[in-house]
Structure 1
Amino acid sequence: MADDGGDEVDATGCWVSLFSGGKDSSWALYRALEEGLNVTHLLTVHPEGDSYMYHVPATRLAELAAESIGLPLVDVEPGAFGTDAATDSGAQGDREIEPLEAAIRELRTELDCELVGVTAGAVESEYQTSRIDGLCNRLGIELFAPLWQRDPVALGEAMIDAGFEITIVQVAAYGLDESWLGRTLDAAALAELQELNEEYGVHVLGEGGEFETLVTDAPHMERPIRLEYQTEWDGTRGRLRITDAWLGEH
């Protein structure tokens, strides 16, 4: 696995960014571009319902993000996952990686240069990373995972310092109430998340699904994403129901 901590990566061939529009995959893409990697496509998986492998909420907005970034987007639709229910989380994860691998294999035949790697935004999840790493091994390509096993507070600070505008679109953890929905992940929010981590064990970057995000602006985006939404809250968890989204102007 390659990262941005000194390992050499192949910048001569094509790279595909596994991209949800959330902060982690967006940071992986941003760091890849900063490293000079030739990212030619974004690839977004749209899971059905809950997923152990993939970021779920607001993935349809990845199309707007891709337009702002200026890269073509490949969608892996829910039907690609089939209808057979997996018997446990491991089986589900194995099943969910199959359409992603098939999409990358198909895209590989259409590229103008050799596919040499993919980017991914995993931070601590062995479950997710081991499957993506296995996919890369089968395809004979590299994995660029610049967030992997980095300090979450330092990562959050780096994203904010770089100019990422990060909107919280879903929360599902004790200690996170309705006021967090639609909130910007800024320095003040990061400090509060550190306190919640100490008190309740909430991961500072929401790695365990405690919260999900959408990057609405960043240095590698030409135009910001603007949102209209309503909040849905059931007393313990909630999400933004986005009613409209468009690219604005800086």
Structure 2
Amino acid sequence: MTETADWKNGARGHKFVASFSGGKDSTLALYKAMQVGEAVGLIVMLEEEGQRSRSHGMPPELIQAQAEAIGLPVYTAATSWADYEKNFMILLATAKSEGAEVLVTGDLDVPAHGCWHNRVTQNAGLKLGMPLWEMDHLETVRQFIDLGFVTMLVTVNLSLGMREDDLGRVLTHEYVEELLARGIDPSGRPSDLAGVEKMVGLFINTIPVRVKSGSFSFLELVRHLQQETLQAEAYSYYPLYDIQAQSPLKQALFDHIIVFENVPAQREIENVSQAGSFDFAVEDFTMEEVTF
């Protein structure tokens, strides 16, 4: 049995604590878990000052009101990204002492291997439950709306395609269609960034990487790079401008960029051609995938 075998049904028959942001995905995951298990509380991570949630910048009072509405206690910690895991582990230990056996999250796209939540739950002696894991993004949003949940946008990221006039909008099927028409995935988010359930748009970041070959053989170097990459995954969404600000090199931190594009371009172009969607056809198209 693989480590992912019970992720979708991890809360069944167990007491659990939910990693909660107040957003739609964590709410839907909590709802699904409560149908099959018993919730003992919610974990909410705050920014260093403790005035806003780490995920969506929501005031703790709002999340507290959500928790009180369903009769659950809230375990909170004000933390920086650097101390995020340490403080998250402390809250897991607290929840475990209150009877929690499982951590429930609202993640959809986390990888089967190298999952951050899986690692921290194992270290805490808990199991992992992700009721939404591998669900289609659009299906998740539509199911959330169909169940009668009401979501109002209270924060937007203007750099990711959202607009100021999106503030205050209620998430409906019609609004979802509007977002799709604007090229925005209403449930789009990175795979393992804690609590980004209401962020929408493209997540693109440039990450400075330093490689020291030393006396490694090629195989040893590849293994070393793989391990360092896995360890750095928790910080892969740290803003580039903040990294540059903390480095004496500033804008000269790096001078070469390797772009990874996970786009099935060849298949998509062939499908367009076959569909006859345009007045021209693309023929004899080939694509070579290169891994660095």
| Same topology, TM > 0.5 | yes
Counterpart of 1:71, as a letter, is L
Displacement after TM superposition at 1:174 (Å) = 4.7
1:85-106 residue CA offsets vs partner (Å, 9 max, x unmatched): xxxxxxx46x411101111113
Give the SS at the match of 1:133. helix
Whole-angstrom CA distance in 1 between matches of 2:10 and 2:163? 42
Residues 22 and 212, structure 1, Cα contact 8 Å, conserved in 2 = no
Give the SS at the match of 1:166. coil
Displacement after TM superposition at 1:24 (Å) = 1.3
Counterpart of 2:71, as a letter, is G
* Alignment partner, residue 166 of structure 1: 151
Residues 63 and 73, structure 1, Cα contact 8 Å, conserved in 2 = yes
CA RMSD of superposed structures (Å): 2.8
Alignment equivalent of 1:141, drawn from 110, 113, 126: 126
Whole-angstrom CA distance in 1 between matches of 2:18 and 2:109? 18
Residues 11 and 33, structure 2, Cα contact 8 Å, conserved in 1 = no
Whole-angstrom CA distance in 2 between matches of 1:99 and 1:210? 20
Residues 168 and 182, structure 1, Cα contact 8 Å, conserved in 2 = yes
Displacement after TM superposition at 1:160 (Å) = 0.2
* Alignment partner, residue 67 of structure 2: 66
Give the SS at the match of 1:26. helix
> Which stretches in structure 2 are left out of the alignment for 5+ residues?
191-195, 201-292
Alignment equivalent of 2:89, drawn from 63, 81, 101: 101
1:207 aligns with 2:189: yes
Whole-angstrom CA distance in 1 between matches of 2:116 and 2:178? 32
1:59-103 residue CA offsets vs partner (Å, 9 max, x unmatched): 51110001111111111123xx4xxxxxxxxxx46x411101111
Percent identical pairs in the alignment equals 24
Displacement after TM superposition at 1:137 (Å) = 1.4
Residues 118 and 144, structure 1, Cα contact 8 Å, conserved in 2 = yes
TM-score by length of 2: 0.57
Whole-angstrom CA distance in 2 between matches of 1:165 and 1:77? 28
In the TM superposition, structure 1's runs of 4+ consecutive aligned residues that sit over 3 Å from their partners are 1-4, 7-10, 208-213
Whole-angstrom CA distance in 2 between matches of 1:151 and 1:9? 20
* Alignment partner, residue 48 of structure 2: 48
Seen in structure 2, the aligned counterparts of structure 1 residues 16 and 120 have a Cα distance that, compared at 3 Å, is same
Displacement after TM superposition at 1:203 (Å) = 2.3
Counterpart of 1:148, as a letter, is W
Whole-angstrom CA distance in 2 between matches of 1:15 and 1:120? 10
1:114-150 residue CA offsets vs partner (Å, 9 max, x unmatched): x310110112255xx8221110111232211122221
Seen in structure 2, the aligned counterparts of structure 1 residues 120 and 41 have a Cα distance that, compared at 3 Å, is same
Whole-angstrom CA distance in 2 between matches of 1:210 and 1:139? 24
Whole-angstrom CA distance in 2 between matches of 1:158 and 1:8? 20
1:178-205 residue CA offsets vs partner (Å, 9 max, x unmatched): 22111011111111122223xxxx3221
Whole-angstrom CA distance in 2 between matches of 1:210 and 1:103? 20
* Alignment partner, residue 181 of structure 1: 167
Residues 123 and 149, structure 1, Cα contact 8 Å, conserved in 2 = yes
Seen in structure 2, the aligned counterparts of structure 1 residues 73 and 8 have a Cα distance that, compared at 3 Å, is closer
Give the SS at the match of 2:142. helix
* Alignment partner, residue 34 of structure 2: 33
> Which stretches in structure 1 are left out of the alignment for 5+ residues?
82-91, 214-250
Q: What is the total number of aligned residue pairs between the two structures?
A: 185
Counterpart of 2:164, as a letter, is E
Structure with greater contact order relative to length (CA < 8 Å, sep ≥ 6): 1
Counterpart of 1:42, as a letter, is L
More strand by share: 1
